[in-house]
Amino acid sequence: MHTVVVGTSGVTASDVLAVARAGARVELSEEAVAALAAARDIVDALAAKPEPVYGVSTGFGALATRHISPELRGRLQRNIVRSHAAGMGPRVEREVVRALMFLRLKTVCSGRTGVRPEVARTMADVLNAGITPVVHEYGSLGCSGDLAPLSHCALTLMGEGDAEGPDGTVRPAGELLAEHGITPVELREKEGLALLNGTDGMLGMLVMALADLDTLYKSADVTAALTMEALLGTDKVLAPELHAIRPHPGQAASAANMLAVLDGSGLTGHHQDDAPRVQDAYSVRCAPQVAGAGRDTMAHAGLVAERELASAVDNPVVLPDGRVESNGNFHGAPVAYVLDFLAVAVADLGSIAERRTDRLLDKNRSHGLPPFLADDAGVDSGLMIAQYTQAALVGELKRLAVPASADSIPSSAMQEDHVSMGWSAARKLRTAVDNLARVIAVELYAATRAIQLREGLTPAPASRAVIDAVRAAGVQGPGPDRYLSPDLAAADAFVRAGHLVAAAETVTGPLR
């Protein structure tokens, strides 16, 4: 099994995906263990002094003015975990919780938090045992970090609360730790706070969304090309020299992908023969501009994620010169903004895909295709309601594009009076990404059927490869009306598994 070694300088997006989704093992580097021990020595020295130090010998948040005596500090650290584990609602997905735990471990291993090496080792042991704390949908305001979700994870380290075992059964965390020979941690000064105070949940969801969107944006380029073929559009608008004079890199990549898929097509350009059109509709002609803008948004979001993955997010932090200083690095604004920005791009990509699908089904705009791509229009309804479903999904995407990061709600007796709502931005982006796959699947279903209805014209080799692959996956072609949900579900699975992109790439080579 693949092993990810966590050092002091952060982790990569591929590390997060390996641990969260592929169950990779986690190990601590010798450098990280040494940094943990050195930072802990600083915290222990400060804890022994009579002067109060925030997070070490004081309360937290609005209660930070109280100095805590040494005999109460262990209880204080346990209590912050218990009281902050106040989430409600449905359980969060296993991959999100594993990303959350792994990214908190990443910050702990930076040597900036003051956590003992044995606590970090326990975090790694829990991940490696396949134990997943029960984390709930609601509880994080994204400042000070993802407090409630991280608290539920810390509760598991203490052997309290509920967790899911490797067999998928939810049981008391203490039982699961005992079965795997893991000793619950006894928290000391600073450690409870250090386990809770980070942007790890929203960052983990950003990393996974970017990975999913990389596949979906390529998929959308493929379906846009198939629709252009089915509508007998012109691929002249995809010429590299046209995109070079507006040099957005995402736009150039999207146009290049479409052009590669359409290479050798016997359908494109035929609209000049019998039904002259000066230009194709925006949803066809401007596909690279819209998808390209989304790609550039992803590039910006990826840069933010890269910076966060190299960060140590905690408050207070232990500095190399021995100081323990308060800060505001736990604020989730940088991550929240790009999560919201991505939701806008996702909504627009879904919207333009739906417009292309609708054009395929409208006999007044489809340039010779039967109404709703039906076998016997009037007796058959064809894909009429499949487009309704797609439109409903797009409507939801537009609602999910409303920014969460602009909706700060003060908390903690006005001490934490401006919050990021980054967790909420991440949660709605996950839903948006999920729905985008379904929107693209409907366009794929319609476009492949439409191409097959263009009798006497030969599609591009890449298009033919996609049609063959999607039919082999159980998505049926043209014919009389049938129960459509299974076909749409199969198309959805085909898209989100990356099989659409893979099928096209058997002809085109790697898409950009």
**Residue 305 per-residue DSSP state:** H
Indicate which residue of 54, 138, 445, 483 is catalytic: 54
Burial category of 246 from C-beta neighbours within 10 Å (exposed 0-12, middle 13-18, buried 19 and up)? exposed
With vertex at residue 112, the alpha carbon angle to CA 110 and CA 113, rounded to the nearest 5 degrees, is 105
Pairing mode of beta strands 132-133, 136-138: unpaired
Q: Which of 445, 430, 435 is nearest to 494 (CA)?
A: 445
Look up residue 228 and give its two tokens. 């252009």
Distance CA 499, CA 497 (A): 6
- Residue found under tokens 């409303």: 402
Furthest CA-CA distance within the chain:
90
User: Is residue 380 classed as helix, strand or coil in its secondary structure?
Assistant: strand
What 3-state DSSP class applies to 371? helix
Task: Report helix angle 499-508 to 249-262, nearest 10.
Answer: 70
Task: Give catalytic status of residue 483 as yes or no.
Answer: no
The DSSP secondary structure of 244-261, one letter per residue, reads HTS--HHHHHHHHHHHHH
- Is the torsion defined by CA of 432, 435, 440, 442 positive or negative? negative
Contact between residue 504 and residue 466 where contact means Cβ atoms under 8 Å apart = yes
Q: How far apart are CA 112 and CA 198, in angstroms?
A: 12
Residue 254 to residue 291: CA distance in whole angstroms: 7
- The residue ranges of DSSP E strands in 29-135, in sequence order, are 88-91, 132-133
The CA-atom distances, in angstroms, between 52 and each of 41, 49, 93, 278 are: 17, 8, 40, 76
Which run of H or E residues covers position 135?
Answer: none
List own/partner pairs for 182-187 with CB under 8 A and 24 or more apart: 182/122, 182/125, 182/126, 182/129, 182/131, 183/122, 184/122, 184/157, 184/158, 184/159, 184/160, 185/118, 185/119, 185/122, 185/157, 185/158, 186/74, 187/74, 187/77, 187/78, 187/81, 187/119, 187/158
Q: Is 93 helix (H, G, I), strand (E, B) or coil?
A: coil
Per DSSP, 461 falls in state H
Two structure tokens written together for 393: 């999904």
Rounded distance between C-alpha atoms, residue 340 and residue 405, angstroms: 7
State CA 191 to chain mean position distance. Answer: 29
CB 412 within 8 A of CB 61: yes
Tokens coding 477: 């072609």
For the annotated catalytic residues, the residue numbers are 54
